[in-house]
Amino acid sequence: MASLLGWTLLAASATGAPVVRAAEPQWVWDDVAERFLRTPAGYVVDRVLSVRTEQGGLKAPQDLFLDAEGYLWVVDSGNHRVLKMTREGEVQAVLPRPGSGRLQRPQGVFVDDDGTVYVADTGNGRIVVFGREGQWVRTYEAPVSSLLDPSFTFKPSKLLVDNRGYLNVVNEGEYRGIVLLDLDGHFRGFFAPNPVGFDWRRLLIRLLATEAQRERIARLLPPPHSNLTQDAQGFIYTTTVHAQRGQIKRFNSIGRNTYPDKSYGHAWYRDLQQVLPHFTDLAVDETGIVTAVDAASQLVYQYDQEGNNLLVFGGRGEREGRFLYPSAIEVDERGWLYVADREQNVIQVFRPTELMQLVHRASALYYDGRYEEAGEPWRQVLRLDANYLIAHRGLGRALLKQGHPGEAMQEFRYGKDRAGYSRAFAELRYRWMRANFGWTVLIVAGALAGVWLAVRGAGRIMQAARRHYGGYA
Protein backbone atom coordinates (compact mmCIF):
# COMPACT_ATOMS: atom_id res chain seq x y z
CA MET A 1 0.00 0.00 0.00
CA ALA A 2 2.86 2.36 0.79
CA SER A 3 4.23 2.07 -2.76
CA LEU A 4 0.75 2.65 -4.11
CA LEU A 5 0.20 5.81 -2.11
CA GLY A 6 3.11 7.71 -3.59
CA TRP A 7 3.98 11.30 -2.82
CA THR A 8 3.29 14.22 -5.15
CA LEU A 9 4.17 17.86 -4.91
CA LEU A 10 1.63 20.56 -4.13
CA ALA A 11 1.88 23.75 -6.15
CA ALA A 12 1.89 26.81 -3.90
CA SER A 13 1.68 30.50 -4.55
CA ALA A 14 4.18 32.85 -2.94
CA THR A 15 2.52 36.04 -4.19
CA GLY A 16 -0.71 36.02 -2.18
CA ALA A 17 -2.73 35.00 -5.22
CA PRO A 18 -5.13 32.07 -4.88
CA VAL A 19 -3.21 28.86 -4.26
CA VAL A 20 -3.41 26.29 -7.06
CA ARG A 21 -3.42 22.87 -5.45
CA ALA A 22 -2.11 19.83 -7.30
CA ALA A 23 -4.21 16.75 -6.76
CA GLU A 24 -2.93 13.77 -4.81
CA PRO A 25 -2.81 10.36 -6.56
CA GLN A 26 -6.24 8.77 -6.79
CA TRP A 27 -7.46 5.35 -7.85
CA VAL A 28 -10.35 3.11 -8.70
CA TRP A 29 -10.49 -0.53 -7.59
CA ASP A 30 -10.36 -3.22 -10.30
CA ASP A 31 -12.40 -6.00 -8.68
CA VAL A 32 -11.47 -8.51 -11.40
CA ALA A 33 -7.69 -8.12 -11.22
CA GLU A 34 -7.98 -7.11 -7.52
CA ARG A 35 -5.72 -4.10 -7.81
CA PHE A 36 -5.85 -0.32 -7.80
CA LEU A 37 -5.81 1.56 -11.11
CA ARG A 38 -4.63 5.14 -11.27
CA THR A 39 -7.23 7.63 -12.45
CA PRO A 40 -7.32 11.40 -12.94
CA ALA A 41 -8.25 13.29 -9.82
CA GLY A 42 -11.87 13.00 -8.77
CA TYR A 43 -11.59 15.47 -5.89
CA VAL A 44 -9.24 18.32 -5.06
CA VAL A 45 -8.84 20.20 -1.79
CA ASP A 46 -10.71 23.49 -1.96
CA ARG A 47 -9.82 24.71 1.52
CA VAL A 48 -8.81 23.59 5.00
CA LEU A 49 -10.83 24.78 7.98
CA SER A 50 -8.74 25.35 11.10
CA VAL A 51 -11.39 26.65 13.47
CA ARG A 52 -10.39 29.27 16.01
CA THR A 53 -12.53 30.51 18.92
CA GLU A 54 -11.85 32.35 22.17
CA GLN A 55 -11.67 28.96 23.88
CA GLY A 56 -9.14 27.65 21.34
CA GLY A 57 -9.15 25.60 18.16
CA LEU A 58 -10.53 22.18 17.36
CA LYS A 59 -9.45 19.27 19.51
CA ALA A 60 -10.26 15.73 18.37
CA PRO A 61 -13.34 16.49 16.18
CA GLN A 62 -15.58 13.43 16.15
CA ASP A 63 -18.64 14.17 14.00
CA LEU A 64 -19.97 16.48 11.28
CA PHE A 65 -23.52 17.35 10.26
CA LEU A 66 -24.90 19.72 7.61
CA ASP A 67 -28.32 21.05 8.58
CA ALA A 68 -31.22 22.12 6.36
CA GLU A 69 -29.99 25.73 6.34
CA GLY A 70 -26.51 24.76 5.19
CA TYR A 71 -24.67 25.25 8.50
CA LEU A 72 -21.92 22.80 9.41
CA TRP A 73 -22.10 21.36 12.94
CA VAL A 74 -18.87 20.00 14.43
CA VAL A 75 -18.56 17.82 17.52
CA ASP A 76 -15.40 19.23 19.10
CA SER A 77 -14.99 16.28 21.45
CA GLY A 78 -11.69 17.23 23.03
CA ASN A 79 -13.12 20.58 24.08
CA HIS A 80 -16.44 19.03 25.21
CA ARG A 81 -18.56 21.21 22.93
CA VAL A 82 -20.45 21.41 19.64
CA LEU A 83 -19.84 24.19 17.12
CA LYS A 84 -22.23 25.66 14.60
CA MET A 85 -20.32 27.21 11.72
CA THR A 86 -20.58 28.30 8.12
CA ARG A 87 -19.02 26.20 5.39
CA GLU A 88 -16.18 28.72 5.30
CA GLY A 89 -15.35 28.02 8.95
CA GLU A 90 -16.92 31.05 10.68
CA VAL A 91 -18.27 29.96 14.08
CA GLN A 92 -21.90 31.03 14.64
CA ALA A 93 -22.65 29.37 17.97
CA VAL A 94 -21.07 27.20 20.66
CA LEU A 95 -23.06 24.60 22.59
CA PRO A 96 -23.67 24.34 25.44
CA ARG A 97 -23.96 27.97 26.44
CA PRO A 98 -22.00 29.08 29.52
CA GLY A 99 -23.87 28.18 32.69
CA SER A 100 -26.32 25.77 31.04
CA GLY A 101 -24.62 22.49 31.83
CA ARG A 102 -21.59 20.61 30.57
CA LEU A 103 -20.95 17.97 27.97
CA GLN A 104 -18.37 15.26 28.50
CA ARG A 105 -16.57 13.85 25.46
CA PRO A 106 -19.52 14.18 23.03
CA GLN A 107 -19.22 12.11 19.85
CA GLY A 108 -22.30 12.65 17.69
CA VAL A 109 -24.69 15.38 16.56
CA PHE A 110 -27.93 15.50 14.59
CA VAL A 111 -30.05 18.55 13.67
CA ASP A 112 -33.63 18.13 12.50
CA ASP A 113 -35.40 20.35 9.96
CA ASP A 114 -36.83 22.52 12.78
CA GLY A 115 -33.36 23.31 14.09
CA THR A 116 -33.52 21.08 17.18
CA VAL A 117 -30.05 19.77 18.01
CA TYR A 118 -29.46 16.27 19.41
CA VAL A 119 -26.02 15.58 20.90
CA ALA A 120 -24.63 12.21 21.93
CA ASP A 121 -23.07 13.16 25.28
CA THR A 122 -21.02 9.98 25.44
CA GLY A 123 -18.97 10.71 28.54
CA ASN A 124 -22.09 11.43 30.57
CA GLY A 125 -24.01 8.48 29.16
CA ARG A 126 -26.95 10.49 27.82
CA ILE A 127 -28.40 12.43 24.89
CA VAL A 128 -28.78 16.20 25.25
CA VAL A 129 -31.32 18.20 23.23
CA PHE A 130 -30.85 21.90 22.44
CA GLY A 131 -33.46 24.23 20.97
CA ARG A 132 -33.11 26.27 17.80
CA GLU A 133 -31.70 29.21 19.76
CA GLY A 134 -29.19 27.05 21.59
CA GLN A 135 -31.10 26.68 24.86
CA TRP A 136 -30.83 23.40 26.82
CA VAL A 137 -34.21 21.66 26.32
CA ARG A 138 -33.95 18.19 27.83
CA THR A 139 -31.85 15.08 28.29
CA TYR A 140 -32.45 11.41 27.51
CA GLU A 141 -30.91 9.23 30.17
CA ALA A 142 -30.39 5.48 29.96
CA PRO A 143 -33.69 3.85 28.95
CA VAL A 144 -35.44 1.54 31.41
CA SER A 145 -37.22 -1.52 30.06
CA SER A 146 -37.88 -5.13 31.00
CA LEU A 147 -36.41 -5.99 27.60
CA LEU A 148 -33.00 -4.64 28.61
CA ASP A 149 -30.50 -6.57 30.67
CA PRO A 150 -29.75 -5.02 34.10
CA SER A 151 -26.12 -4.72 32.98
CA PHE A 152 -27.10 -2.57 29.98
CA THR A 153 -24.82 0.47 29.74
CA PHE A 154 -25.95 3.56 27.83
CA LYS A 155 -23.02 5.24 26.04
CA PRO A 156 -24.47 6.83 22.90
CA SER A 157 -21.86 7.71 20.29
CA LYS A 158 -23.85 8.52 17.12
CA LEU A 159 -27.50 9.27 16.54
CA LEU A 160 -30.20 10.46 14.17
CA VAL A 161 -33.95 10.98 14.12
CA ASP A 162 -35.49 8.91 11.32
CA ASN A 163 -38.53 9.65 9.17
CA ARG A 164 -40.77 7.81 11.66
CA GLY A 165 -39.72 10.11 14.50
CA TYR A 166 -37.58 7.55 16.34
CA LEU A 167 -34.18 8.26 17.81
CA ASN A 168 -31.70 5.79 16.29
CA VAL A 169 -28.70 5.53 18.60
CA VAL A 170 -25.39 3.78 18.08
CA ASN A 171 -24.48 2.61 21.58
CA GLU A 172 -20.78 1.91 22.13
CA GLY A 173 -20.07 -1.82 21.84
CA GLU A 174 -23.75 -2.73 21.38
CA TYR A 175 -23.86 -5.96 19.36
CA ARG A 176 -27.66 -6.24 19.33
CA GLY A 177 -28.09 -3.41 16.84
CA ILE A 178 -29.15 0.21 16.83
CA VAL A 179 -31.03 1.34 19.95
CA LEU A 180 -34.47 2.73 19.10
CA LEU A 181 -36.05 5.34 21.37
CA ASP A 182 -39.23 7.31 20.84
CA LEU A 183 -39.10 11.07 21.41
CA ASP A 184 -40.34 10.55 24.98
CA GLY A 185 -37.22 8.47 25.65
CA HIS A 186 -38.97 5.10 25.86
CA PHE A 187 -37.07 2.07 24.60
CA ARG A 188 -38.65 0.62 21.44
CA GLY A 189 -36.23 -2.20 20.67
CA PHE A 190 -33.09 -2.90 18.70
CA PHE A 191 -32.93 -2.24 14.98
CA ALA A 192 -30.83 -3.90 12.24
CA PRO A 193 -28.34 -6.06 14.17
CA ASN A 194 -25.32 -7.33 12.28
CA PRO A 195 -25.26 -11.09 11.60
CA VAL A 196 -22.50 -13.27 12.95
CA GLY A 197 -22.20 -15.11 9.63
CA PHE A 198 -21.46 -18.72 8.88
CA ASP A 199 -17.92 -20.07 9.10
CA TRP A 200 -16.91 -23.65 8.25
CA ARG A 201 -13.87 -23.40 10.49
CA ARG A 202 -16.04 -22.46 13.47
CA LEU A 203 -18.34 -25.40 12.73
CA LEU A 204 -15.43 -27.84 12.61
CA ILE A 205 -13.99 -26.43 15.82
CA ARG A 206 -17.39 -26.77 17.49
CA LEU A 207 -17.55 -30.44 16.45
CA LEU A 208 -14.04 -31.24 17.62
CA ALA A 209 -13.60 -28.87 20.58
CA THR A 210 -13.93 -29.59 24.25
CA GLU A 211 -16.92 -28.30 26.22
CA ALA A 212 -14.94 -25.35 27.59
CA GLN A 213 -13.83 -24.41 24.09
CA ARG A 214 -17.42 -24.65 22.86
CA GLU A 215 -18.52 -22.19 25.56
CA ARG A 216 -15.96 -19.67 24.34
CA ILE A 217 -17.17 -20.13 20.76
CA ALA A 218 -20.78 -19.68 21.86
CA ARG A 219 -19.87 -16.22 23.15
CA LEU A 220 -18.88 -15.05 19.68
CA LEU A 221 -20.95 -11.90 19.12
CA PRO A 222 -21.79 -9.95 15.97
CA PRO A 223 -19.77 -6.79 15.36
CA PRO A 224 -21.40 -3.50 16.44
CA HIS A 225 -22.27 -0.60 14.17
CA SER A 226 -19.78 2.28 14.29
CA ASN A 227 -21.82 5.04 12.64
CA LEU A 228 -25.03 5.77 10.77
CA THR A 229 -26.72 8.24 8.45
CA GLN A 230 -29.88 8.37 6.37
CA ASP A 231 -30.79 9.48 2.86
CA ALA A 232 -33.72 11.48 1.52
CA GLN A 233 -35.77 8.29 1.00
CA GLY A 234 -35.42 7.26 4.63
CA PHE A 235 -32.92 4.42 4.14
CA ILE A 236 -30.49 4.14 7.04
CA TYR A 237 -26.84 3.47 6.17
CA THR A 238 -24.39 2.10 8.70
CA THR A 239 -20.71 1.31 8.96
CA THR A 240 -19.30 -1.67 10.85
CA VAL A 241 -15.78 -2.21 12.15
CA HIS A 242 -13.93 -5.49 12.75
CA ALA A 243 -15.81 -7.20 9.89
CA GLN A 244 -14.49 -8.80 6.71
CA ARG A 245 -17.60 -8.10 4.63
CA GLY A 246 -20.75 -6.03 4.83
CA GLN A 247 -18.89 -3.09 6.39
CA ILE A 248 -21.39 -0.76 4.69
CA LYS A 249 -25.12 -1.50 4.82
CA ARG A 250 -28.33 0.18 3.68
CA PHE A 251 -31.38 -0.74 5.76
CA ASN A 252 -35.02 -0.31 4.82
CA SER A 253 -37.77 0.36 7.36
CA ILE A 254 -37.96 -3.30 8.47
CA GLY A 255 -34.21 -3.60 9.04
CA ARG A 256 -33.33 -5.52 5.89
CA ASN A 257 -30.01 -4.74 4.26
CA THR A 258 -30.55 -3.67 0.63
CA TYR A 259 -26.90 -2.89 -0.15
CA PRO A 260 -24.74 -5.63 -1.74
CA ASP A 261 -23.32 -7.99 0.88
CA LYS A 262 -19.63 -7.96 -0.02
CA SER A 263 -16.33 -6.58 1.21
CA TYR A 264 -15.83 -2.84 1.22
CA GLY A 265 -12.48 -1.19 1.60
CA HIS A 266 -9.40 -3.39 1.46
CA ALA A 267 -7.44 -5.29 4.06
CA TRP A 268 -3.70 -4.82 4.14
CA TYR A 269 -0.78 -6.06 6.21
CA ARG A 270 1.31 -4.33 8.87
CA ASP A 271 4.14 -6.27 10.50
CA LEU A 272 2.76 -9.49 8.95
CA GLN A 273 -0.64 -8.92 10.59
CA GLN A 274 -3.80 -8.31 8.62
CA VAL A 275 -5.41 -4.91 9.17
CA LEU A 276 -9.12 -4.80 8.31
CA PRO A 277 -10.88 -1.64 7.13
CA HIS A 278 -12.05 0.53 10.02
CA PHE A 279 -14.83 2.72 8.68
CA THR A 280 -15.51 5.53 11.12
CA ASP A 281 -18.20 7.42 9.18
CA LEU A 282 -20.06 7.64 5.89
CA ALA A 283 -22.09 10.20 3.96
CA VAL A 284 -24.78 9.73 1.30
CA ASP A 285 -25.56 12.39 -1.31
CA GLU A 286 -28.93 13.20 -2.85
CA THR A 287 -28.54 10.53 -5.54
CA GLY A 288 -27.52 7.68 -3.20
CA ILE A 289 -23.74 7.75 -3.78
CA VAL A 290 -21.92 6.61 -0.62
CA THR A 291 -18.59 7.99 0.60
CA ALA A 292 -16.89 6.41 3.63
CA VAL A 293 -13.67 7.12 5.54
CA ASP A 294 -11.37 4.30 6.63
CA ALA A 295 -9.28 5.27 9.66
CA ALA A 296 -7.05 2.19 9.33
CA SER A 297 -5.68 3.11 5.89
CA GLN A 298 -6.58 6.84 6.03
CA LEU A 299 -8.37 6.40 2.70
CA VAL A 300 -11.70 7.71 1.44
CA TYR A 301 -13.80 5.20 -0.54
CA GLN A 302 -16.72 6.16 -2.76
CA TYR A 303 -19.36 3.72 -4.05
CA ASP A 304 -22.35 4.05 -6.35
CA GLN A 305 -25.92 3.05 -5.56
CA GLU A 306 -25.11 -0.61 -6.28
CA GLY A 307 -21.89 -0.82 -4.27
CA ASN A 308 -19.46 -0.41 -7.20
CA ASN A 309 -16.28 1.46 -6.35
CA LEU A 310 -16.07 4.86 -8.04
CA LEU A 311 -12.95 6.31 -6.45
CA VAL A 312 -10.34 5.90 -3.72
CA PHE A 313 -8.24 8.81 -2.49
CA GLY A 314 -6.32 10.08 0.51
CA GLY A 315 -3.71 8.14 2.46
CA ARG A 316 -1.57 8.84 5.49
CA GLY A 317 0.16 12.20 5.69
CA GLU A 318 -0.03 15.71 7.07
CA ARG A 319 -0.36 17.45 3.72
CA GLU A 320 -3.57 18.65 2.20
CA GLY A 321 -5.50 15.75 0.73
CA ARG A 322 -4.13 13.27 3.29
CA PHE A 323 -5.10 12.35 6.82
CA LEU A 324 -3.75 11.09 10.12
CA TYR A 325 -7.10 9.87 11.46
CA PRO A 326 -10.20 10.68 9.38
CA SER A 327 -12.99 10.59 11.96
CA ALA A 328 -16.04 12.07 10.18
CA ILE A 329 -17.34 12.94 6.73
CA GLU A 330 -20.26 14.96 5.37
CA VAL A 331 -21.48 15.87 1.86
CA ASP A 332 -23.44 18.91 0.72
CA GLU A 333 -25.95 19.38 -2.09
CA ARG A 334 -23.13 20.24 -4.54
CA GLY A 335 -21.33 16.98 -3.87
CA TRP A 336 -18.54 18.69 -1.90
CA LEU A 337 -17.01 16.55 0.85
CA TYR A 338 -16.06 17.69 4.35
CA VAL A 339 -13.62 15.39 6.16
CA ALA A 340 -12.64 15.90 9.81
CA ASP A 341 -9.24 14.72 11.01
CA ARG A 342 -9.16 14.19 14.76
CA GLU A 343 -5.34 14.05 14.85
CA GLN A 344 -4.63 17.13 12.70
CA ASN A 345 -7.65 18.94 14.22
CA VAL A 346 -8.79 20.33 10.88
CA ILE A 347 -11.63 19.87 8.41
CA GLN A 348 -10.62 19.46 4.78
CA VAL A 349 -13.11 20.49 2.11
CA PHE A 350 -12.96 18.62 -1.21
CA ARG A 351 -14.71 19.70 -4.39
CA PRO A 352 -15.42 17.24 -7.20
CA THR A 353 -13.63 17.65 -10.51
CA GLU A 354 -15.32 17.47 -13.89
CA LEU A 355 -14.58 13.73 -13.97
CA MET A 356 -16.52 12.96 -10.78
CA GLN A 357 -19.35 15.30 -11.67
CA LEU A 358 -19.83 13.32 -14.88
CA VAL A 359 -19.55 9.99 -13.02
CA HIS A 360 -22.16 11.08 -10.48
CA ARG A 361 -24.51 12.34 -13.19
CA ALA A 362 -24.25 9.12 -15.17
CA SER A 363 -24.74 6.96 -12.07
CA ALA A 364 -27.80 8.95 -11.00
CA LEU A 365 -29.38 8.76 -14.48
CA TYR A 366 -28.82 5.02 -14.74
CA TYR A 367 -30.11 4.40 -11.22
CA ASP A 368 -33.25 6.37 -12.09
CA GLY A 369 -33.83 4.16 -15.15
CA ARG A 370 -32.88 6.85 -17.67
CA TYR A 371 -30.49 4.56 -19.51
CA GLU A 372 -30.27 6.40 -22.81
CA GLU A 373 -29.46 9.70 -21.07
CA ALA A 374 -26.79 7.97 -18.97
CA GLY A 375 -24.82 6.95 -22.06
CA GLU A 376 -23.53 10.42 -22.96
CA PRO A 377 -21.95 11.32 -19.59
CA TRP A 378 -20.30 7.87 -19.52
CA ARG A 379 -18.80 8.63 -22.95
CA GLN A 380 -17.51 11.95 -21.63
CA VAL A 381 -15.93 10.15 -18.68
CA LEU A 382 -14.10 7.85 -21.09
CA ARG A 383 -12.76 10.85 -22.99
CA LEU A 384 -11.14 11.98 -19.73
CA ASP A 385 -10.04 8.50 -18.64
CA ALA A 386 -10.21 5.74 -21.26
CA ASN A 387 -9.39 3.10 -18.61
CA TYR A 388 -12.19 3.98 -16.17
CA LEU A 389 -13.77 0.54 -15.78
CA ILE A 390 -17.06 1.69 -14.27
CA ALA A 391 -17.67 3.97 -17.26
CA HIS A 392 -17.27 1.05 -19.67
CA ARG A 393 -19.61 -1.06 -17.53
CA GLY A 394 -22.14 1.75 -17.20
CA LEU A 395 -22.06 2.43 -20.93
CA GLY A 396 -22.43 -1.30 -21.59
CA ARG A 397 -25.52 -1.49 -19.37
CA ALA A 398 -26.97 1.60 -21.02
CA LEU A 399 -26.38 0.13 -24.51
CA LEU A 400 -27.91 -3.17 -23.45
CA LYS A 401 -31.02 -1.42 -22.12
CA GLN A 402 -31.25 0.51 -25.40
CA GLY A 403 -31.20 -2.74 -27.38
CA HIS A 404 -27.60 -2.76 -28.67
CA PRO A 405 -26.18 -6.02 -27.26
CA GLY A 406 -23.27 -6.20 -29.72
CA GLU A 407 -21.92 -2.79 -28.73
CA ALA A 408 -22.66 -3.58 -25.09
CA MET A 409 -20.51 -6.72 -25.30
CA GLN A 410 -17.55 -4.64 -26.42
CA GLU A 411 -17.96 -2.17 -23.53
CA PHE A 412 -18.36 -4.99 -21.01
CA ARG A 413 -15.18 -6.54 -22.34
CA TYR A 414 -13.30 -3.25 -21.86
CA GLY A 415 -14.82 -2.99 -18.38
CA LYS A 416 -13.88 -6.58 -17.46
CA ASP A 417 -17.50 -7.32 -16.60
CA ARG A 418 -18.00 -11.02 -17.30
CA ALA A 419 -21.57 -11.12 -16.02
CA GLY A 420 -22.55 -8.16 -18.19
CA TYR A 421 -20.81 -9.68 -21.19
CA SER A 422 -22.73 -12.93 -20.69
CA ARG A 423 -26.05 -11.07 -20.45
CA ALA A 424 -25.31 -9.14 -23.64
CA PHE A 425 -24.21 -12.30 -25.46
CA ALA A 426 -27.36 -14.13 -24.37
CA GLU A 427 -29.48 -11.25 -25.69
CA LEU A 428 -27.55 -11.22 -28.97
CA ARG A 429 -27.96 -14.99 -29.34
CA TYR A 430 -31.69 -14.75 -28.61
CA ARG A 431 -32.12 -12.03 -31.23
CA TRP A 432 -30.21 -14.04 -33.82
CA MET A 433 -32.27 -17.13 -33.11
CA ARG A 434 -35.51 -15.19 -33.36
CA ALA A 435 -34.48 -13.53 -36.62
CA ASN A 436 -33.24 -16.77 -38.16
CA PHE A 437 -35.68 -19.23 -36.61
CA GLY A 438 -37.04 -20.52 -39.93
CA TRP A 439 -33.63 -21.13 -41.46
CA THR A 440 -32.41 -22.62 -38.19
CA VAL A 441 -35.29 -25.11 -38.12
CA LEU A 442 -34.66 -26.10 -41.74
CA ILE A 443 -30.93 -26.52 -41.17
CA VAL A 444 -31.45 -28.56 -38.00
CA ALA A 445 -34.15 -30.68 -39.68
CA GLY A 446 -31.89 -31.20 -42.70
CA ALA A 447 -29.00 -32.17 -40.47
CA LEU A 448 -31.14 -34.66 -38.56
CA ALA A 449 -32.46 -36.10 -41.85
CA GLY A 450 -28.92 -36.40 -43.14
CA VAL A 451 -27.84 -38.25 -40.00
CA TRP A 452 -30.88 -40.55 -40.26
CA LEU A 453 -30.16 -41.33 -43.94
CA ALA A 454 -26.50 -41.92 -43.17
CA VAL A 455 -27.37 -44.34 -40.38
CA ARG A 456 -29.85 -46.19 -42.60
CA GLY A 457 -27.32 -46.32 -45.42
CA ALA A 458 -24.63 -47.66 -43.11
CA GLY A 459 -27.05 -50.30 -41.82
CA ARG A 460 -27.90 -51.49 -45.32
CA ILE A 461 -24.23 -51.70 -46.24
CA MET A 462 -23.55 -53.77 -43.15
CA GLN A 463 -26.46 -56.12 -43.95
CA ALA A 464 -25.23 -56.56 -47.52
CA ALA A 465 -21.77 -57.35 -46.26
CA ARG A 466 -23.08 -59.99 -43.84
CA ARG A 467 -25.04 -61.68 -46.60
CA HIS A 468 -22.02 -61.61 -48.90
CA TYR A 469 -19.70 -63.17 -46.33
CA GLY A 470 -22.12 -65.70 -44.96
CA GLY A 471 -23.20 -63.69 -41.89
CA TYR A 472 -19.65 -63.06 -40.57
CA ALA A 473 -19.29 -59.42 -41.42
Range with the lowest mean pLDDT among 202-211, 285-294, 445-454? 202-211
Residue 205 confidence (pLDDT): 55
User: What is the per-residue pLDDT for 18?
Assistant: 38
Under the banding of pLDDT at 50, 70 and 90, the label for residue 9 is: very low
State pLDDT tens for residues 138-153: 999 999 999 998 889 9
Secondary structure of the chain in HEC code, one letter for each residue? CCCCCCCCCCCCCCCCCCCCCCCCCEEEEECCCCEEEEECCCEEEEEEECCEECCEECCCEEEEEECCCCCEEEEEHHHCEEEEECCCCCEEEEECCCCCCCCCCCCEEEECCCCCEEEEEHHHCEEEEECCCCCEEEEECCCCCCCCCCCCCCCEEEEEECCCCCEEEEECCCCCCEEEECCCCCEEEEECCCCCCCCHHHHHHHHHCCHHHHHHHHCCCCCCEEEEEECCCCCEEEEECCCCCCCEEEECCCCCECCCCCCCCCCEEECCEEECCCEEEEEECCCCCEEEEECCCCEEEEECCCCCEEEEEECECCCCCCECCEEEEEECCCCCEEEEECCCCEEEEEEECHHHHHHHHHHHHHHCCCHHHHHHHHHHHHHHCCCCHHHHHHHHHHHHHCCCHHHHHHHHHHCCCHHHHHHHHHHHHHHHHHHCHHHHHHHHHHHHHHHHHHHHHHHHHHHHHHHHCCCCC
> What is the per-residue pLDDT for 473?
47
pTM here is 0.86
Q: What is the pLDDT of residues 22-39, one digit of tens each?
A: 567 899 998 888 899 999
Q: What is the pLDDT of residue 172?
A: 95
pLDDT score, position 16: 34
Mean pLDDT of 170-189: 96
Give the pLDDT confidence of 182-232 residue by residue, as tens digits: 999 999 999 999 987 655 555 555 566 666 666 655 556 789 999 999 999
- The pLDDT, as a whole number, for residue 437 is 76
What is the mean predicted confidence (pLDDT) over 6-35?
58
Q: What is the pLDDT of residue 270?
A: 79
* pLDDT above 90 as % of the chain: 69
Check residues 53 and 141 and name the one with the higher pLDDT.
141
What does the pLDDT average to over 401-421?
93
Q: What is the pLDDT of residue 2?
A: 37
Q: What would the mean pLDDT of 270-297 be, rounded to a whole number?
A: 93
User: Rounded mean pLDDT of 344-372?
Assistant: 95
Question: Which has more confidence, 291 or 454?
Answer: 291
Residue 219, pLDDT score: 58
**Per-residue confidence (pLDDT) for residue 19, from 0 to 100:** 42
Confidence (pLDDT) at 56? 86
99 or 81: whose pLDDT is higher?
81
**What number is the average pLDDT over the span 165-173?**
96
